[in-house]
Amino acid sequence: MEILELTATALAEQVRSKQLSAVEVARAYLARIAELDPILHAYITVDADGALEAARAIDARLARGEDVGALAGVPIALKDIFVTRGLRTTCGSRILADWVPPYEGMPSARLRAAGAVVLGKANMDEFAMGSSNENSAFGACRNPWDIERVPGGSSGGSAAAVAARLCLGALGTDTGGSIRQPAALCGAVGIKPTYGRVSRYGVIAFASSLDQVGPLARTTEDAAALLEVIAGHDPLDATSLPQPVGRYREACRRGVRGLRIGVPAEYFAAGLDPEIEGAVRAAIDELVGQGAELVEISLPHTKYAIATYYLLCTAEASSNLARYDGVRFGMRAARPQDLGDLYSRTRHDGFGPEVKRRIILGTFALSAGYYDAYYAKGQRVRTLIRQDFSQAFERCDAIVVPTSPITAFKLGERLDDPLQMYLADIYTISCNLAGLPGLSLPCGFSSQGLPIGLQVLGRPLGEEQVFAVAGAYEQAHDWHRRVPEVRR
Protein backbone atom coordinates (compact mmCIF):
# COMPACT_ATOMS: atom_id res chain seq x y z
CA MET A 1 0.00 0.00 0.00
CA GLU A 2 3.00 2.30 0.36
CA ILE A 3 3.15 3.23 -3.33
CA LEU A 4 -0.49 4.27 -3.25
CA GLU A 5 0.12 6.66 -0.36
CA LEU A 6 2.95 8.69 -1.93
CA THR A 7 2.08 12.19 -3.15
CA ALA A 8 2.69 12.99 -6.81
CA THR A 9 5.73 15.11 -6.10
CA ALA A 10 7.26 12.47 -3.79
CA LEU A 11 6.50 9.64 -6.21
CA ALA A 12 8.00 11.47 -9.20
CA GLU A 13 11.16 12.06 -7.14
CA GLN A 14 11.42 8.34 -6.32
CA VAL A 15 10.87 7.35 -9.95
CA ARG A 16 13.46 9.86 -11.16
CA SER A 17 16.00 8.57 -8.64
CA LYS A 18 15.11 4.96 -9.61
CA GLN A 19 13.99 3.93 -6.12
CA LEU A 20 10.70 3.00 -7.76
CA SER A 21 10.01 2.05 -11.34
CA ALA A 22 7.18 3.63 -13.29
CA VAL A 23 6.02 0.09 -14.19
CA GLU A 24 5.75 -0.89 -10.49
CA VAL A 25 3.68 2.23 -9.86
CA ALA A 26 1.38 1.63 -12.83
CA ARG A 27 0.87 -2.01 -11.76
CA ALA A 28 -0.01 -0.97 -8.20
CA TYR A 29 -2.65 1.45 -9.43
CA LEU A 30 -4.02 -0.93 -12.07
CA ALA A 31 -4.42 -3.60 -9.36
CA ARG A 32 -6.31 -1.15 -7.17
CA ILE A 33 -8.55 -0.25 -10.14
CA ALA A 34 -9.23 -3.94 -10.83
CA GLU A 35 -10.25 -4.36 -7.19
CA LEU A 36 -12.41 -1.27 -6.63
CA ASP A 37 -13.58 0.12 -9.95
CA PRO A 38 -16.22 -2.58 -10.45
CA ILE A 39 -17.85 -1.02 -7.35
CA LEU A 40 -17.14 2.67 -7.95
CA HIS A 41 -17.24 2.88 -11.75
CA ALA A 42 -14.93 5.88 -11.75
CA TYR A 43 -13.57 4.94 -15.18
CA ILE A 44 -15.36 4.63 -18.51
CA THR A 45 -12.23 3.15 -20.13
CA VAL A 46 -9.19 1.68 -18.36
CA ASP A 47 -6.14 1.60 -20.64
CA ALA A 48 -3.95 -0.97 -18.86
CA ASP A 49 -1.85 -1.79 -21.94
CA GLY A 50 -1.28 1.86 -22.82
CA ALA A 51 -0.37 2.70 -19.22
CA LEU A 52 2.16 -0.12 -18.92
CA GLU A 53 3.66 0.76 -22.29
CA ALA A 54 4.05 4.41 -21.26
CA ALA A 55 5.53 3.37 -17.91
CA ARG A 56 8.05 1.05 -19.61
CA ALA A 57 9.07 3.89 -21.95
CA ILE A 58 9.70 6.17 -18.95
CA ASP A 59 11.82 3.54 -17.19
CA ALA A 60 13.78 2.97 -20.41
CA ARG A 61 14.47 6.67 -20.81
CA LEU A 62 15.60 6.92 -17.17
CA ALA A 63 17.89 3.95 -17.71
CA ARG A 64 19.48 5.88 -20.60
CA GLY A 65 20.03 8.83 -18.28
CA GLU A 66 17.40 11.09 -19.87
CA ASP A 67 15.32 13.64 -17.94
CA VAL A 68 11.72 12.47 -18.08
CA GLY A 69 10.03 15.47 -16.46
CA ALA A 70 8.41 16.76 -13.30
CA LEU A 71 5.66 14.11 -13.21
CA ALA A 72 7.82 11.06 -13.92
CA GLY A 73 5.65 7.95 -13.51
CA VAL A 74 2.70 9.81 -11.93
CA PRO A 75 -0.48 7.82 -12.76
CA ILE A 76 -3.27 10.04 -14.04
CA ALA A 77 -6.96 9.70 -14.93
CA LEU A 78 -8.32 11.95 -17.68
CA LYS A 79 -11.97 12.94 -17.64
CA ASP A 80 -13.41 11.40 -20.80
CA ILE A 81 -13.88 14.90 -22.27
CA PHE A 82 -10.14 15.05 -23.14
CA VAL A 83 -9.42 13.96 -26.69
CA THR A 84 -6.84 11.13 -26.68
CA ARG A 85 -5.25 9.81 -29.87
CA GLY A 86 -6.07 6.16 -30.43
CA LEU A 87 -7.96 5.89 -27.12
CA ARG A 88 -11.77 5.95 -27.16
CA THR A 89 -13.19 9.32 -26.06
CA THR A 90 -16.92 9.27 -25.26
CA CYS A 91 -17.62 12.48 -23.31
CA GLY A 92 -20.04 10.28 -21.36
CA SER A 93 -22.37 10.11 -24.37
CA ARG A 94 -23.86 7.39 -26.53
CA ILE A 95 -23.31 9.64 -29.54
CA LEU A 96 -19.52 9.25 -29.13
CA ALA A 97 -19.59 5.70 -27.68
CA ASP A 98 -17.19 4.37 -30.32
CA TRP A 99 -15.20 7.46 -31.21
CA VAL A 100 -11.45 6.89 -31.41
CA PRO A 101 -9.87 10.33 -31.99
CA PRO A 102 -7.15 10.85 -34.58
CA TYR A 103 -5.30 13.45 -32.49
CA GLU A 104 -4.28 14.28 -28.92
CA GLY A 105 -5.49 17.32 -26.97
CA MET A 106 -3.02 19.78 -25.43
CA PRO A 107 -3.60 19.27 -21.66
CA SER A 108 -2.97 15.52 -21.82
CA ALA A 109 -0.09 15.99 -24.29
CA ARG A 110 1.60 18.30 -21.76
CA LEU A 111 1.07 15.80 -18.93
CA ARG A 112 2.52 12.96 -21.01
CA ALA A 113 5.49 15.11 -22.03
CA ALA A 114 6.20 15.69 -18.30
CA GLY A 115 6.34 11.92 -17.68
CA ALA A 116 2.79 11.28 -16.41
CA VAL A 117 1.21 7.89 -17.17
CA VAL A 118 -2.43 7.90 -18.31
CA LEU A 119 -4.37 5.04 -16.67
CA GLY A 120 -7.64 5.67 -18.46
CA LYS A 121 -10.65 7.88 -19.07
CA ALA A 122 -12.77 8.91 -16.12
CA ASN A 123 -16.55 8.79 -15.84
CA MET A 124 -18.52 12.04 -16.20
CA ASP A 125 -21.94 13.51 -16.81
CA GLU A 126 -22.76 13.45 -20.51
CA PHE A 127 -21.05 16.43 -22.21
CA ALA A 128 -20.18 17.68 -18.69
CA MET A 129 -23.82 18.55 -18.04
CA GLY A 130 -24.69 17.62 -14.49
CA SER A 131 -23.77 17.88 -10.84
CA SER A 132 -24.03 14.21 -9.84
CA ASN A 133 -22.41 12.08 -12.57
CA GLU A 134 -25.80 10.37 -12.95
CA ASN A 135 -26.12 11.69 -16.52
CA SER A 136 -23.35 9.39 -17.81
CA ALA A 137 -24.51 7.14 -20.66
CA PHE A 138 -22.17 4.49 -19.20
CA GLY A 139 -23.72 4.30 -15.74
CA ALA A 140 -23.36 6.37 -12.60
CA CYS A 141 -20.12 6.67 -10.64
CA ARG A 142 -20.28 6.14 -6.86
CA ASN A 143 -18.90 8.20 -4.01
CA PRO A 144 -16.07 6.24 -2.31
CA TRP A 145 -17.15 7.50 1.14
CA ASP A 146 -20.64 5.99 0.68
CA ILE A 147 -21.44 4.08 -2.47
CA GLU A 148 -25.16 4.88 -2.15
CA ARG A 149 -24.24 8.53 -2.78
CA VAL A 150 -23.17 10.53 -5.82
CA PRO A 151 -19.56 11.71 -6.27
CA GLY A 152 -20.77 15.07 -7.63
CA GLY A 153 -20.32 16.18 -11.19
CA SER A 154 -19.60 16.60 -13.86
CA SER A 155 -16.00 15.45 -13.19
CA GLY A 156 -17.35 12.84 -10.74
CA GLY A 157 -15.17 9.97 -12.00
CA SER A 158 -12.01 12.09 -11.74
CA ALA A 159 -12.80 13.09 -8.13
CA ALA A 160 -13.86 9.59 -7.04
CA ALA A 161 -10.72 8.07 -8.63
CA VAL A 162 -8.44 10.55 -6.82
CA ALA A 163 -10.17 10.04 -3.45
CA ALA A 164 -10.24 6.22 -3.70
CA ARG A 165 -6.59 5.95 -4.83
CA LEU A 166 -7.55 4.72 -8.32
CA CYS A 167 -5.12 7.37 -9.66
CA LEU A 168 -2.75 9.90 -8.11
CA GLY A 169 -4.06 12.93 -9.96
CA ALA A 170 -6.69 13.66 -12.56
CA LEU A 171 -7.77 16.25 -15.05
CA GLY A 172 -11.29 17.63 -15.08
CA THR A 173 -13.13 20.51 -16.66
CA ASP A 174 -15.19 23.13 -14.86
CA THR A 175 -17.95 25.12 -16.57
CA GLY A 176 -20.05 25.86 -13.47
CA GLY A 177 -18.29 23.95 -10.69
CA SER A 178 -17.57 20.60 -12.34
CA ILE A 179 -14.09 20.30 -10.79
CA ARG A 180 -14.70 21.98 -7.41
CA GLN A 181 -18.09 20.45 -6.50
CA PRO A 182 -17.05 16.78 -7.02
CA ALA A 183 -13.72 17.54 -5.29
CA ALA A 184 -15.73 18.80 -2.29
CA LEU A 185 -18.14 15.86 -2.29
CA CYS A 186 -15.31 13.29 -2.56
CA GLY A 187 -12.76 14.94 -0.26
CA ALA A 188 -10.21 15.87 -2.97
CA VAL A 189 -8.45 19.09 -3.95
CA GLY A 190 -9.54 20.59 -7.27
CA ILE A 191 -8.81 23.89 -8.96
CA LYS A 192 -10.49 25.69 -11.83
CA PRO A 193 -7.84 28.15 -12.98
CA THR A 194 -8.48 31.59 -14.50
CA TYR A 195 -10.43 31.43 -17.77
CA GLY A 196 -7.82 30.96 -20.50
CA ARG A 197 -5.02 29.76 -18.20
CA VAL A 198 -5.01 26.19 -19.62
CA SER A 199 -5.34 25.39 -23.32
CA ARG A 200 -8.63 23.84 -24.39
CA TYR A 201 -7.24 22.43 -27.63
CA GLY A 202 -8.64 18.91 -27.79
CA VAL A 203 -11.13 19.44 -24.95
CA ILE A 204 -14.72 18.77 -26.02
CA ALA A 205 -16.63 22.07 -25.77
CA PHE A 206 -19.73 22.57 -23.62
CA ALA A 207 -20.02 26.35 -22.99
CA SER A 208 -16.99 28.04 -24.47
CA SER A 209 -17.12 31.33 -22.53
CA LEU A 210 -17.10 29.37 -19.24
CA ASP A 211 -15.21 26.09 -19.79
CA GLN A 212 -11.79 25.72 -18.18
CA VAL A 213 -9.46 22.76 -17.56
CA GLY A 214 -7.94 22.00 -14.16
CA PRO A 215 -6.35 19.29 -12.00
CA LEU A 216 -7.75 17.22 -9.12
CA ALA A 217 -5.32 15.78 -6.58
CA ARG A 218 -5.00 14.68 -2.96
CA THR A 219 -3.00 17.72 -1.78
CA THR A 220 -2.81 21.36 -2.81
CA GLU A 221 0.87 20.94 -3.65
CA ASP A 222 0.09 18.06 -6.04
CA ALA A 223 -2.66 20.15 -7.67
CA ALA A 224 -0.14 22.99 -8.00
CA ALA A 225 2.45 20.67 -9.56
CA LEU A 226 -0.08 19.42 -12.14
CA LEU A 227 -1.25 22.95 -12.93
CA GLU A 228 2.32 24.15 -13.47
CA VAL A 229 2.64 21.49 -16.19
CA ILE A 230 -0.67 22.03 -18.02
CA ALA A 231 -0.95 25.85 -17.77
CA GLY A 232 0.45 28.29 -20.28
CA HIS A 233 -0.14 29.81 -23.67
CA ASP A 234 -1.02 27.62 -26.63
CA PRO A 235 -1.26 29.10 -30.13
CA LEU A 236 -3.85 26.43 -30.96
CA ASP A 237 -6.33 27.96 -28.47
CA ALA A 238 -7.12 31.60 -29.28
CA THR A 239 -8.54 32.14 -25.76
CA SER A 240 -5.41 30.94 -23.96
CA LEU A 241 -3.60 33.64 -21.99
CA PRO A 242 -0.04 34.75 -22.87
CA GLN A 243 1.01 35.63 -19.28
CA PRO A 244 3.77 33.48 -17.71
CA VAL A 245 2.71 30.57 -15.47
CA GLY A 246 2.96 31.30 -11.74
CA ARG A 247 5.00 29.49 -9.08
CA TYR A 248 2.11 27.56 -7.66
CA ARG A 249 4.00 24.92 -5.67
CA GLU A 250 6.09 27.52 -3.94
CA ALA A 251 2.94 29.58 -3.24
CA CYS A 252 1.47 26.65 -1.26
CA ARG A 253 4.10 27.29 1.46
CA ARG A 254 3.95 31.07 1.41
CA GLY A 255 1.51 31.45 4.33
CA VAL A 256 -1.32 33.94 4.76
CA ARG A 257 0.24 36.56 7.06
CA GLY A 258 -1.00 39.95 5.86
CA LEU A 259 -3.36 38.51 3.22
CA ARG A 260 -6.87 40.00 3.27
CA ILE A 261 -9.54 37.29 3.17
CA GLY A 262 -12.97 38.41 1.96
CA VAL A 263 -16.08 36.70 3.34
CA PRO A 264 -19.36 37.53 1.55
CA ALA A 265 -22.58 37.27 3.58
CA GLU A 266 -24.47 36.12 0.44
CA TYR A 267 -22.61 32.77 0.55
CA PHE A 268 -23.81 31.94 4.07
CA ALA A 269 -27.52 32.21 3.36
CA ALA A 270 -30.58 29.98 3.68
CA GLY A 271 -30.10 26.51 2.20
CA LEU A 272 -26.54 26.11 3.52
CA ASP A 273 -26.14 22.93 5.59
CA PRO A 274 -25.29 24.11 9.16
CA GLU A 275 -22.51 21.52 9.45
CA ILE A 276 -20.89 22.94 6.31
CA GLU A 277 -21.25 26.49 7.59
CA GLY A 278 -19.61 25.45 10.87
CA ALA A 279 -16.66 23.79 9.13
CA VAL A 280 -16.10 26.73 6.75
CA ARG A 281 -16.32 29.32 9.56
CA ALA A 282 -13.82 27.27 11.59
CA ALA A 283 -11.50 27.27 8.54
CA ILE A 284 -11.79 31.06 8.29
CA ASP A 285 -10.92 31.34 12.00
CA GLU A 286 -7.89 29.12 11.39
CA LEU A 287 -6.68 31.43 8.58
CA VAL A 288 -7.18 34.50 10.79
CA GLY A 289 -5.24 32.70 13.54
CA GLN A 290 -2.36 32.32 11.05
CA GLY A 291 -2.28 36.06 10.44
CA ALA A 292 -4.79 36.67 7.65
CA GLU A 293 -7.02 39.73 7.91
CA LEU A 294 -10.78 39.12 7.72
CA VAL A 295 -12.72 41.53 5.48
CA GLU A 296 -16.51 41.47 5.20
CA ILE A 297 -17.50 41.93 1.58
CA SER A 298 -20.71 41.87 -0.44
CA LEU A 299 -21.48 40.18 -3.76
CA PRO A 300 -25.03 41.53 -4.14
CA HIS A 301 -25.91 39.88 -7.46
CA THR A 302 -25.20 36.34 -6.24
CA LYS A 303 -28.90 35.42 -6.20
CA TYR A 304 -29.09 36.02 -9.98
CA ALA A 305 -26.14 33.76 -10.79
CA ILE A 306 -28.11 30.53 -11.33
CA ALA A 307 -30.51 32.09 -13.82
CA THR A 308 -27.67 33.89 -15.63
CA TYR A 309 -25.50 30.81 -15.76
CA TYR A 310 -28.15 28.39 -17.02
CA LEU A 311 -29.31 30.84 -19.72
CA LEU A 312 -25.79 31.37 -21.04
CA CYS A 313 -24.42 27.84 -20.72
CA THR A 314 -27.42 26.26 -22.44
CA ALA A 315 -27.31 28.81 -25.27
CA GLU A 316 -23.62 28.10 -25.84
CA ALA A 317 -24.18 24.35 -25.54
CA SER A 318 -26.95 24.36 -28.13
CA SER A 319 -24.49 25.92 -30.56
CA ASN A 320 -21.46 23.77 -29.63
CA LEU A 321 -23.42 20.52 -29.83
CA ALA A 322 -24.67 21.27 -33.35
CA ARG A 323 -21.56 19.43 -34.60
CA TYR A 324 -22.94 16.04 -33.50
CA ASP A 325 -24.97 15.35 -36.60
CA GLY A 326 -24.01 11.82 -37.64
CA VAL A 327 -21.86 12.91 -40.59
CA ARG A 328 -18.17 13.23 -39.71
CA PHE A 329 -17.78 11.21 -36.50
CA GLY A 330 -19.86 9.53 -33.83
CA MET A 331 -23.00 7.46 -34.25
CA ARG A 332 -25.51 7.74 -37.08
CA ALA A 333 -29.18 6.68 -37.01
CA ALA A 334 -29.92 3.66 -39.20
CA ARG A 335 -31.73 4.02 -42.56
CA PRO A 336 -32.24 7.81 -42.69
CA GLN A 337 -34.99 8.94 -45.09
CA ASP A 338 -33.20 12.18 -45.92
CA LEU A 339 -30.52 14.47 -44.51
CA GLY A 340 -32.87 16.22 -42.04
CA ASP A 341 -34.03 12.85 -40.75
CA LEU A 342 -30.40 11.72 -40.40
CA TYR A 343 -29.56 14.78 -38.25
CA SER A 344 -32.63 14.83 -36.03
CA ARG A 345 -32.91 11.08 -35.46
CA THR A 346 -29.17 10.65 -34.79
CA ARG A 347 -29.44 13.38 -32.16
CA HIS A 348 -32.63 11.89 -30.71
CA ASP A 349 -31.00 8.47 -30.35
CA GLY A 350 -27.55 9.71 -29.32
CA PHE A 351 -28.23 12.31 -26.62
CA GLY A 352 -29.52 11.64 -23.10
CA PRO A 353 -32.32 13.55 -21.34
CA GLU A 354 -30.23 16.28 -19.66
CA VAL A 355 -28.38 17.10 -22.88
CA LYS A 356 -31.68 17.31 -24.78
CA ARG A 357 -33.12 19.55 -22.07
CA ARG A 358 -30.18 21.95 -22.35
CA ILE A 359 -30.14 21.99 -26.15
CA ILE A 360 -33.87 22.82 -26.20
CA LEU A 361 -33.55 25.44 -23.46
CA GLY A 362 -30.54 27.06 -25.13
CA THR A 363 -32.07 27.04 -28.59
CA PHE A 364 -35.19 28.62 -27.10
CA ALA A 365 -33.14 31.37 -25.38
CA LEU A 366 -31.42 32.18 -28.69
CA SER A 367 -34.50 31.96 -30.93
CA ALA A 368 -36.11 34.95 -32.68
CA GLY A 369 -38.34 36.94 -30.33
CA TYR A 370 -36.68 35.64 -27.15
CA TYR A 371 -33.00 36.51 -27.71
CA ASP A 372 -33.12 39.96 -26.06
CA ALA A 373 -35.33 38.90 -23.15
CA TYR A 374 -33.17 35.89 -22.24
CA TYR A 375 -29.72 35.55 -23.81
CA ALA A 376 -28.85 39.25 -24.09
CA LYS A 377 -30.30 39.90 -20.63
CA GLY A 378 -28.10 37.13 -19.24
CA GLN A 379 -24.97 38.69 -20.78
CA ARG A 380 -25.85 42.05 -19.13
CA VAL A 381 -26.41 40.51 -15.69
CA ARG A 382 -23.12 38.68 -16.16
CA THR A 383 -21.46 42.10 -16.33
CA LEU A 384 -23.04 43.01 -12.96
CA ILE A 385 -21.78 39.77 -11.40
CA ARG A 386 -18.25 40.47 -12.70
CA GLN A 387 -18.42 44.02 -11.29
CA ASP A 388 -19.36 42.62 -7.86
CA PHE A 389 -16.10 40.67 -7.84
CA SER A 390 -13.89 43.46 -9.17
CA GLN A 391 -15.22 45.77 -6.43
CA ALA A 392 -14.73 43.08 -3.76
CA PHE A 393 -11.16 42.42 -4.87
CA GLU A 394 -10.27 46.08 -4.28
CA ARG A 395 -10.63 45.28 -0.57
CA CYS A 396 -9.36 41.68 -0.34
CA ASP A 397 -6.81 39.31 -1.90
CA ALA A 398 -8.87 36.10 -1.82
CA ILE A 399 -12.44 35.11 -1.00
CA VAL A 400 -13.24 32.11 1.22
CA VAL A 401 -16.68 30.44 1.01
CA PRO A 402 -18.25 26.96 1.01
CA THR A 403 -17.93 24.97 -2.24
CA SER A 404 -21.34 23.30 -2.05
CA PRO A 405 -24.33 24.03 0.20
CA ILE A 406 -24.84 20.27 0.71
CA THR A 407 -22.70 17.17 1.18
CA ALA A 408 -22.96 14.18 -1.19
CA PHE A 409 -26.60 13.25 -1.74
CA LYS A 410 -28.12 9.84 -2.53
CA LEU A 411 -28.24 8.49 -6.08
CA GLY A 412 -31.60 9.27 -7.67
CA GLU A 413 -32.57 11.74 -4.96
CA ARG A 414 -32.54 14.88 -7.15
CA LEU A 415 -32.83 13.38 -10.60
CA ASP A 416 -36.50 14.21 -11.21
CA ASP A 417 -36.20 17.90 -10.48
CA PRO A 418 -33.77 19.76 -12.76
CA LEU A 419 -34.28 23.12 -11.01
CA GLN A 420 -33.39 21.64 -7.57
CA MET A 421 -30.27 20.10 -9.12
CA TYR A 422 -29.26 23.43 -10.72
CA LEU A 423 -29.81 25.43 -7.50
CA ALA A 424 -27.11 23.38 -5.71
CA ASP A 425 -24.52 25.02 -8.00
CA ILE A 426 -25.05 28.41 -6.32
CA TYR A 427 -21.57 28.73 -4.78
CA THR A 428 -19.51 27.63 -7.77
CA ILE A 429 -21.02 29.24 -10.88
CA SER A 430 -20.28 32.94 -10.22
CA CYS A 431 -16.56 32.14 -10.41
CA ASN A 432 -17.03 30.85 -13.98
CA LEU A 433 -19.23 33.80 -14.98
CA ALA A 434 -16.42 36.13 -13.84
CA GLY A 435 -13.55 33.99 -15.21
CA LEU A 436 -11.81 33.76 -11.81
CA PRO A 437 -9.63 31.00 -10.35
CA GLY A 438 -11.36 28.87 -7.68
CA LEU A 439 -10.05 25.95 -5.63
CA SER A 440 -11.84 23.48 -3.35
CA LEU A 441 -10.07 21.54 -0.61
CA PRO A 442 -11.29 19.35 2.26
CA CYS A 443 -12.12 21.19 5.49
CA GLY A 444 -13.86 18.53 7.55
CA PHE A 445 -16.43 15.76 7.59
CA SER A 446 -20.15 15.79 8.37
CA SER A 447 -21.64 13.74 11.21
CA GLN A 448 -22.46 11.13 8.53
CA GLY A 449 -18.78 10.91 7.60
CA LEU A 450 -19.11 12.81 4.32
CA PRO A 451 -16.41 15.27 3.15
CA ILE A 452 -16.95 19.04 3.32
CA GLY A 453 -15.27 21.42 0.85
CA LEU A 454 -13.74 24.85 1.44
CA GLN A 455 -13.60 27.12 -1.60
CA VAL A 456 -10.96 29.79 -2.21
CA LEU A 457 -11.55 32.31 -5.02
CA GLY A 458 -8.92 34.66 -6.42
CA ARG A 459 -8.49 37.57 -8.80
CA PRO A 460 -7.98 36.83 -12.49
CA LEU A 461 -4.53 35.16 -12.63
CA GLY A 462 -4.45 35.18 -8.82
CA GLU A 463 -3.74 31.44 -8.59
CA GLU A 464 -0.71 32.04 -6.36
CA GLN A 465 -2.81 33.73 -3.65
CA VAL A 466 -5.39 30.95 -3.94
CA PHE A 467 -2.69 28.30 -3.42
CA ALA A 468 -1.21 30.31 -0.53
CA VAL A 469 -4.55 30.30 1.31
CA ALA A 470 -5.28 26.64 0.54
CA GLY A 471 -1.76 25.53 1.46
CA ALA A 472 -1.82 27.44 4.76
CA TYR A 473 -5.11 25.83 5.77
CA GLU A 474 -4.07 22.35 4.63
CA GLN A 475 -0.79 22.24 6.57
CA ALA A 476 -2.72 22.78 9.82
CA HIS A 477 -5.08 19.83 9.28
CA ASP A 478 -5.07 16.23 8.18
CA TRP A 479 -8.50 15.96 6.54
CA HIS A 480 -6.79 15.35 3.19
CA ARG A 481 -4.93 12.33 4.60
CA ARG A 482 -8.09 10.36 5.38
CA VAL A 483 -8.68 7.47 3.02
CA PRO A 484 -12.21 6.24 2.30
CA GLU A 485 -12.89 2.62 3.11
CA VAL A 486 -14.94 1.50 0.11
CA ARG A 487 -17.70 -0.77 1.35
CA ARG A 488 -20.00 -2.74 -0.89
Report the nearest approach of another protein to the CB of residue 398 (Å).
Answer: 18
Selected catalytic residue, list 178, 240, 318, 404: 178
Site for another protein in 85-104 (CB under 8 A): 99-103
Report the nearest approach of another protein to the CB of residue 286 (Å).
Answer: 31
Site for another protein contains 367 (CB under 8 A): yes
Read off the amino acid at residue 363. Answer: T
Site for another protein contains 218 (CB under 8 A): no
Site for another protein contains 195 (CB under 8 A): yes
Q: Mapping DSSP to helix (H, G, I), strand (E, B) and coil, where does residue 170 land?
A: strand
Q: Are 258 and 295 in contact (CB under 8 A)?
A: no
Q: Indicate if 154 belongs to the active site.
A: yes
Per the DSSP assignment, residues forming a β-bridge with 191 are 439
Q: Are 122 and 43 in contact (CB under 8 A)?
A: yes
Site for another protein contains 131 (CB under 8 A): no
Task: Walk across the sheet containing 438-445 and list its strands.
Answer: 43-46, 117-122, 75-79, 169-174, 212-217, 189-192, 438-445, 451-458, 398-402, 260-264, 293-297
Site for another protein in 455-474 (CB under 8 A): 460
Task: Choose, by CB under 8 A, the member of 2, 49, 338, 394 that binds another protein.
Answer: 338
Residue 39's CB is within 10 A of a number of other CB atoms, namely: 14
Judged by beta carbon, residue 268 or residue 329, the one nearer another protein is: 329
Selected catalytic residue, list 131, 132, 136, 154: 154
Site for another protein in 266-305 (CB under 8 A): 301, 303-304
Q: Indicate if 79 belongs to the active site.
A: yes
Site for another protein in 374-393 (CB under 8 A): 374, 376-384, 386
Q: Where are the extended beta strands (E) located within 193-289?
A: 212-217, 260-264
Tell me which residue of 25, 48, 68 sits closest to 165, measured CA to CA: 25
Tell me which residue of 194, 163, 100, 160 sits closest to 464, measured CA to CA: 194
* Total interface residues for another protein by CB under 8 A: 71
Q: Are 318 and 358 in contact (CB under 8 A)?
A: yes
Task: Choose, by CB under 8 A, the member of 364, 415, 445, 482 that binds another protein.
Answer: 364
Site for another protein contains 337 (CB under 8 A): yes
Site for another protein in 103-122 (CB under 8 A): 103
Q: Indicate if 178 belongs to the active site.
A: yes
Report the nearest approach of another protein to the CB of residue 428 (Å).
Answer: 16
Element (DSSP H or E) covering residue 473: helix 463-475
Tell me which residue of 110, 178, 227, 176 sits closest to 464, measured CA to CA: 227
Per-residue contact string for residues 197-216; x = within reach of another protein by CB under 8 A: ------------x-------
Judged by beta carbon, residue 89 or residue 219, the one nearer another protein is: 89
The set of catalytic residues is 79, 154, 178
